[in-house]
Structure 1
Amino acid sequence: MAADCSPAFEQLARRIGSFSCASVEPVVHVRDPFGLANWTLPVVEALLIAGAVLALVHAIRRWRRHGDPSNLAVWFGAIVYLAVTEPTLFFSRSLGLPDTMHDLFAHNVFTVQLVDDRIPLYIVALYAALTSLAYEIVRSLGGFRRNVVLGAICVGFVHHLFYEIFDQLGPQLRWWIWNYDLSLNQPRLASVPMTSVFIFAALGPAALTLLVRLFVGRRADRGEPVGGWSLTWRTLASGVLVPPLIAVGSLPSSVVGDDNNGAQAVVMWLCVAAFAVVAVPVLYQQWRATRADRSAATQAAERPWFAVGYGSLFLVVFVVLWATALPAYRSATGGVTSDGTPIGSLPYAIGCLVAAAVVLAGVATASSPAWARRPSGAEITEPAPQASSA
């Protein structure tokens, strides 16, 4: 894979950090977290790695307590999806892919780097943490009770909300850099290509969820045990088949032509809007149904500690990160800060953050116990004493 560390890629990566083709490690490269490009790198790294660990713990608990390995399949399926996708992007030359696929972007160097220093560990954690978070939010609201396709779309929508808060900030803080000379990175929303806004933020997680629900979730819902080799191959298949599903879902933007950026932007925005148009009423209806159905709340028998707890932590940390980036953002000229980094869309990130907070509030209130949902002023009726037997 050394041939893929071209002078062009090294030059791209050096614009945001200290990457060097001469010092890469083939498997793992560990650096001093205090010696990175800026203090935000170890912060986002710790946040997402912690999220992946918490998501894994939650998935194992659900499998053991409820016999449902779906969360576990989502966690590992996301890792398989990454393993199929990311190396293809970074080692396109060795794989003989077209020139338009070379040097699409470059990550900065973080504390832990993998595979010739191309993939930071936090990116692996990102796939597992945010996909698991979006899946658990939708599951907690009963989003899979009606229709597996609708549930998958809801996961794509929720994932988009959290991901774009991160996606719109990363380039400014030197977490990664896009190569804007390539047609695949056009059109853009501020500094972020629309392929990331739509495909990576919404379509990919929806595709993975659909596959996991078809291969694993439906069997678990029927009470059929899924484990061992059966769970392994179903999880692997879920991750491996995501790219083909993405290719199908991307056809609307492909048919307008790679050179027609305006038409591609319109089509991709329509696709993003379609996710919202479908997901918002479904999530709202399921929230109302979950609150009204005490038996469903009783059957859940668990508090959404991972969804609400980690989701809230994610939003709080990114409010702080965005706040620290605001001075450079506001003084940027032509979409570029004085440090030479492109800015994202703050209005879009704020919209996503507010919507994500509303979704988390919905999960918290839908799962609250019956006594917490009693209207203020409602009287408690004590059970009548039973007559004692003679």
Structure 2
Amino acid sequence: MSDLCAPTFEGLAERLGFTCEEAGGLFELRNPFALENWTLPVLELTIVLGAVLALVYAIVRLRRHNDPTNLVLWIGAIAYLAIIEPPLYFPAAFGIDEYVDTMFAHNVFTVEFLWGRLPLYIIAIYPMMATIAFELVRALGIFRRYGAFVGALCVGFVHHAFYEIFDHLGPQQRWWEWTLDHPMAQPFLDSVPLPSVVVFATLWPMSLAFCVQFFVGRHIDAGRSFSAGQLVWRTIVIGVLASIGTAILPLPATISGGITGSTTVIGVVYAAELVALSVVAILIFARQWRRLRSGANEDLLAIQPHSPGIIFGFAAVYLAVMAVLWIAALPAYFGAVDGVTANGDPVGSLWYTIGCFVIAVVTLAMAALAHRSVAGVVVPAPDAAVESDRV
């Protein structure tokens, strides 16, 4: 595959410890004990396990409760990956190399696809992260109370928190490496491109969640059922529209950068988008939590039979594993000079990561406690519920 090994990718690969010739083929298995360091197989196992559990949960919801929302979300996330990732790995093959150079390179893991470009855990992280964020928001009744757009915005906020814990550790542990002078990666927040923080960690899951809830979730909540054919075309549309949405949502920063040519302006606009989204999401979470704690539990009662305990449990495991990986990285982090460790690896932002840990833990605790508070409560009949509201 040397014809697809661009010089930029080759340079990134060599700094990660492998070469294009060693990158394997369309599919390759490696010894997990012979990877760059011990954190790679730990990360890989955790993420792949999460994706499998998310798929099991989605199938259970479909079979037991006739609710395909999670399965559509899971498949839609994979469809999004299939649309977005290959052009980033092989810009020349897609005829865009004059405009887009190699932006990053993943290290090689146990299970690899596409000549060292696509580790299995990267495929798995899309549906795994999307499921966690979506279920935390849905478990709090936010979609039912505030609609698809606001619910999707909250999904983006939660996804951002869970993802950035991982994102700010990756470069230091050599899970991947960024092309530092790539124009689409500017500006950086320590070792992480700010566009990645906003677009990939926040806006794409927001776009996906909105499409899933708009085309499937809200109809299921209203008691509608779909045939297999209807679900297939809706899932395809969701994957395509979620990709388009990821291009539309960051347009303020894209247009500002195109007009000014300033990475500082791009950074300011991206940060403003993220702050605005976060403020709205925090207000919605706080408002919904007050409603639930005051006894206004009709949103939760409506989804009470669908316990997302397996997702909540894995989310806690994921946070625990990431905490261990971060603790292991702290000696090199604090020994870094000018943001680079003694081994030459860039470090992320510890304070930003701590903030994301807080958000992730708090939202997970809120969802788990809210669901526990209505466990065993009998769902009232529609007429009784209406009468109760009137009283």
Q: Which has the larger displacement, 78-87 or 65-74?
A: 65-74
Partners of 2:47 and 2:125 within 8 A in 1? yes
Q: How many aligned residue pairs are there?
A: 372
TM-superposed CA distance for 1:261, in Å, is: 1.1
Residue matched to 1:383: none
Residue matched to 2:119: 120
Residue matched to 2:95: 96
1:319 and 2:318 equivalent? Answer: no
Partners of 1:100 and 1:183 within 8 A in 2? no
TM-superposed CA distance for 1:371, in Å, is: 8.7
Equivalent residues in 2 for 1:129-140, closer than 5 Å: 129-140=128-139
Residue matched to 1:267: 269
Residue matched to 1:379: none
Distance in 1, matches of 2:62 and 2:290, equals: 27
1:332 and 2:336 equivalent? Answer: yes
AA of the residue aligned to 1:347: W
Root-mean-square deviation (CA, aligned residues, Å) is 1.8
SS at match of 2:143: coil
Distance in 1, matches of 2:287 and 2:63, equals: 29
Residue matched to 2:296: 293
SS at match of 2:28: strand
Kindly provide the CA deviation profile for residues 100-134 of structure 1, in whole angstroms up to 9, marking residues without a partner as x.
41111000000001112210000000101001110
Q: Which has the larger displacement, 190-199 or 4-13?
A: 4-13
TM-superposed CA distance for 1:225, in Å, is: 1.2
Distance in 2, matches of 1:297 and 1:272, equals: 28
Residue matched to 2:159: 159
5+ residue gaps in structure 2?
Answer: 378-391
5+ residue gaps in structure 1?
Answer: 374-390
AA of the residue aligned to 1:192: V
**Are the structure 2 counterparts of residues 327 and 8 from structure 1 closer, same or farther at C-alpha, using a change threshold of 3 Å?**
same
SS at match of 1:147: helix
Residue matched to 1:70: 69
Find the structure with the greater CA-based Rg. 1
Kindly provide the CA deviation profile for residues 154-209 of structure 1, in whole angstroms up to 9, marking residues without a partner as x.
00000000000000000000000000121111101101001110000000000011
Partners of 1:3 and 1:93 within 8 A in 2? no
Partners of 1:70 and 1:217 within 8 A in 2? yes
Residue matched to 1:388: none
AA of the residue aligned to 1:293: A
AA of the residue aligned to 2:150: L
TM-superposed CA distance for 1:304, in Å, is: 3.0
Residue matched to 1:38: 37
Equivalent residues in 2 for 1:96-245, closer than 5 Å: 96-145=95-144, 146-245=146-245
What fraction of aligned residue pairs are identical, expressed as a percent? 46
AA of the residue aligned to 2:123: V
**Are the structure 2 counterparts of residues 11 and 127 from structure 1 closer, same or farther at C-alpha, using a change threshold of 3 Å?**
same
Q: Which has the larger displacement, 256-265 or 76-85?
A: 256-265
Residue matched to 2:286: 284
TM-superposed CA distance for 1:99, in Å, is: 3.4
Higher helix share: 2
1:309 and 2:313 equivalent? Answer: yes
TM-score, normalised relative to structure 1: 0.91
TM-superposed CA distance for 1:277, in Å, is: 1.2
AA of the residue aligned to 2:80: Y
SS at match of 1:279: helix
Equivalent residues in 2 for 1:362-373, closer than 5 Å: 362-369=366-373
SS at match of 2:142: coil
Distance in 1, matches of 2:335 and 2:23, equals: 35
Distance in 1, matches of 2:244 and 2:374, equals: 44
Residue matched to 1:347: 351
AA of the residue aligned to 2:69: S
Partners of 1:188 and 1:194 within 8 A in 2? yes
Partners of 2:291 and 2:297 within 8 A in 1? no
SS at match of 1:15: helix
